[in-house]
Every structure is written in C-alpha cells, then in structure tokens.
C-alpha cells in the first residue's frame, strides 16, 4: 500500500485551490438516475469515491464521459462528468459495490422513484459507528414504498408510483434528507420534509434538481417542500466548493503557521469552524478570491468544541481540530455528538506525543510544547488527514500508512501542500 512521508516544521505559504465537495458530488451523481437525459456536472473532484460511484452507476447502465482538460487546468482542477441514465438496465445494487461506500445506498431513491422498484444491499462505509438506514427507509415508506429486507438486501417496490407525504425526521439526518428529496421530486403531489438537514450540500442538490425541472423550496431550512413532477430533464450544474477541505487546510495553516489563500472557499459554508479558529488565535479574512488564513507563530489558545449538524461545528472537522489542539496552550474539550466511535484517531495522535484522554463522548486534549514524528496508521477518512496535520508540525519524520483513506476525500493533497512549502511525498507501493 502507498504511504505518505512528511518532514515537519515548515510553515505553509501560498495558495491552495479548494476542490469540489465530495459530499455534494456524490448525491448529485446519484441524481442522474432520475432522468433519461444527460446531467453535466462540473468541478467534480478526482477522488477514489467518485470513481467507485461511477462503477456503481455503470452497473445500473449509466454511461459517463469525463471531458478532457481545458487550457489552464491541472490535476487539481475539478473535472467535468456527463452522466446518461437513458438506458438503465438493472435496478439492483449488489453488496460487493455498495459495501465499499455507504453513500451508494442512496441509489434506492431515484431507482424507486423512476422505475418503481429497487433492490439495494445494506451499506458498508467508514467504521465510525453503525449509521443505520432506518430513517431512510422510513422516509421511503412514507412516500408509499413497500419495503422488505431479505438476505441483506432492501427490496423496495412502488408499482403505482410514489405519493407525496409529510416526512418528519426524529433527528437531523443528511442521508435521510438526500433520499427523501430525490424520491419526492417524482412523487405525485406535495411532500413536506420536517426537521430536514440544513447542510450546504443539501442546498446544492436541491439547486441541481430544480435545474432539472423539480419544484423544491426551502432547502437550507428545516422545512423543505417538494411539488412532485412527472419527469425530470437534463441540466448542467457546478459542484460547490468543499467546506471540509477548506476547514482542513485552514487548520493545517493554523497548526504550522504561515499565510495561505484558500482559493474559491466560501466562508458561509463553515462559519462556525472559522469562528472557532479565530478564537484559537488565527487570523481569518474572507475576500472575493476565497479565505485567507494566517498565523504568525503566536501560541494557540485552547478552545472547547461540540460537533453539531449545520450550521454547527462539523463532525467531519473534529479529528483535524483535535490535532490542532494538541499544540494549544491549556486543555480543550472536544465533544462528538453525531457519530459514535469517531475517536479512533486518538491512539494514533498519541504516537506523536499528544496528551488526550477520552471521557464518554468527549476527548480532553492537553496541549504539549512539541510533537515528534512517528509511524502512524490512518483509520478512516477524516482521521487520516488529522495525522497529516500533526505530521506537518511535528519534529522529525512522520510516515502515514493506509493512505487510501485520504484518496477517498482529498484531491491532490500532497501537491497542494508541497506547493505551499510542506515537505511531503507519497511513497508508492512496490
């Protein structure tokens, strides 16, 4: 397997282009199943998860074309993908594909909405808790779908089509909101989603669906209303910039010191995280090019954080923030309220010399003067990049193993960091 080697201690200076958001691109790609016309998605990041989802969609009969590079484009520039689901041949999503990426389970929504049936394996994904699909199934049943679970597969049928309904989620769920939103676009009548997720990625999906002819209002609030239509058409849509990548690089600059412009970043997508970084002692300035992040080497201040659904502090930045707090002055308390088992990076950060103690759903991080480079192992996507952040500031050399997790969510990571002065390289497997 590939490894990443980092020699720490160098501040970051320069510009980092922010890629299209993985968490927006995946549901947008799945939405291509809702129409027999071509959906053109721009600024799609080059990630392992994107490639895997193309395989899954291809298994259903979706054709795709990746356009060639245009003048000025690099490997760090988002790609344009054309998706054509005019000849879907199979409404079954097999275990061997779905088990590798949890979001692929969402194909159940457009398949049942457009074709009246679907057979989708129960999902796999990151080992950060059970993340059950019960709320997704509840939403589909509210729309008139008959659901049975047989041999690890969700068998969904709606031979007479979907019917608009009121869907009230007992807790905020991004995946449930995505599924309900996609399915309801082709339902007969009005659907109201209460306690909907407010994440920018949900808004991005709704914007694209509206371009395709859907009638969605209220995305970005806790109440989304969908007036069902009989069919959707093709469209062209640009994937929003990745707020998690933005926050990750902002924390890397905060950790190492320096001055970096995060090109194309949108502050409104992660204001809570930017506010926390300001409290930590980082200079954050938004301008018409993106977000400029600066730290002159002054001591970091410890700050307590609790993860929450948007607009709260993102769970997908918790591990990165924990890495940052290992060098802060004092003790910080980081509470995780979204996923259980999302502290697997703690034991790896400890290998750098970090002082972290777990207390139920919280981690107490006592800042230390120095971190020391060490061999470490990535356990999941966000945990893996927290090790990169620690390695950038650690004395000596760090080697990160199982970096395929990084390839799932961060486009051209080494290139972006090395161009800003980091001493980082990928060691290819023999």
Residues serving a catalytic function are: 126
329 annotated as ligand-binding: no
195 annotated as ligand-binding: no
23 annotated as ligand-binding: yes
338 annotated as ligand-binding: yes
β-bridge partners, 294: 259, 283
- Burial bucket for residue 132 (CB in 10 Å: 0-12, 13-18, 19+): exposed
316 annotated as ligand-binding: yes
134 annotated as ligand-binding: yes
193 annotated as ligand-binding: no
137 annotated as ligand-binding: no
Binding annotation for phosphoenolpyruvate: 22-23
Binding annotation for UDP-N-acetyl-alpha-D-glucosamine: 102, 131-135, 316, 338
Binding annotation: 22-23, 102, 131-135, 316, 338
């Amino acid at each position: 397997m590939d490894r990443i080697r980092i020699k720490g201690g160098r501040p970051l200076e320069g510009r980092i282009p922010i890629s299209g958001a993985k968490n927006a691109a995946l549901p947008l790609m799945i939405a291509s199943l809702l129409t027999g016309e071509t959906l053109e998605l721009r600024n799609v990041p080059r990630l392992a998860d994107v490639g895997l989802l193309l395989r899954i969609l291809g298994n259903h009969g979706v054709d795709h074309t990746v356009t060639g590079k245009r003048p000025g484009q690099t490997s760090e520039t988002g790609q344009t993908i054309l998706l054509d689901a005019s000849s879907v041949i199979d409404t079954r999503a097999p275990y061997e594909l779905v088990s590798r990426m949890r979001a692929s389970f969402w194909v159940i929504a457009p398949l049942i909405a457009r074709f009246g049936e679907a057979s989708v394996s129960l999902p796999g994904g990151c080992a950060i808790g059970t993340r059950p699909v019960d709320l997704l199934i509840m939403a589909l049943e509210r729309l008139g779908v008959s659901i049975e679970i047989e041999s690890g597969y969700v068998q969904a049928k709606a031979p007479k089509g979907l019917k608009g309904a009121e869907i009230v989620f007992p807790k905020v769920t991004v995946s449930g909101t995505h599924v309900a939103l996609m399915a309801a676009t082709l339902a007969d009548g009005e659907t109201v989603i209460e306690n909907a997720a407010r994440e920018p990625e949900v808004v991005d999906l709704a914007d694209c669906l509206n371009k395709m002819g859907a009638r969605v209002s209220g995305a970005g609030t806790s109440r989304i209303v969908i007036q069902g239509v009989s069919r959707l058409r093709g469209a062209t849509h640009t994937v929003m910039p990745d707020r998690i990548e933005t926050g990750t690089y902002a924390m890397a600059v905060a950790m190492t010191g320096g001055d970096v412009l995060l090109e194309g970043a949108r502050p409104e997508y992660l204001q809570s995280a930017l506010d926390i970084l300001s409290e930590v002692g980082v200079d954050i300035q938004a301008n018409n090019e993106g977000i400029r992040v600066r730290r002159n080497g002054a001591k970091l201040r410890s700050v307590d954080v609790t993860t929450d659904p948007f607009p709260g502090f993102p769970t997908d930045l918790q591990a990165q923030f924990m890495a940052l707090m290992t060098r802060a002055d004092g003790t910080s308390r980081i509470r995780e309220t979204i996923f259980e088992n999302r502290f697997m990076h703690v034991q790896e950060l400890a290998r750098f010399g970090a002082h972290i103690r777990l207390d139920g759903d919280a981690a107490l991080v006592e800042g230390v003067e120095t971190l020391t480079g060490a061999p470490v192992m990535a356990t999941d996507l966000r945990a893996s990049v927290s090790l990169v952040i620690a390695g950038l500031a650690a004395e000596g050399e760090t080697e990160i193993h199982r970096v395929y997790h990084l390839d799932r969510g961060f486009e051209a990571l080494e290139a972006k960091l090395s161009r800003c002065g980091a001493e980082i390289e990928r060691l290819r497997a023999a």
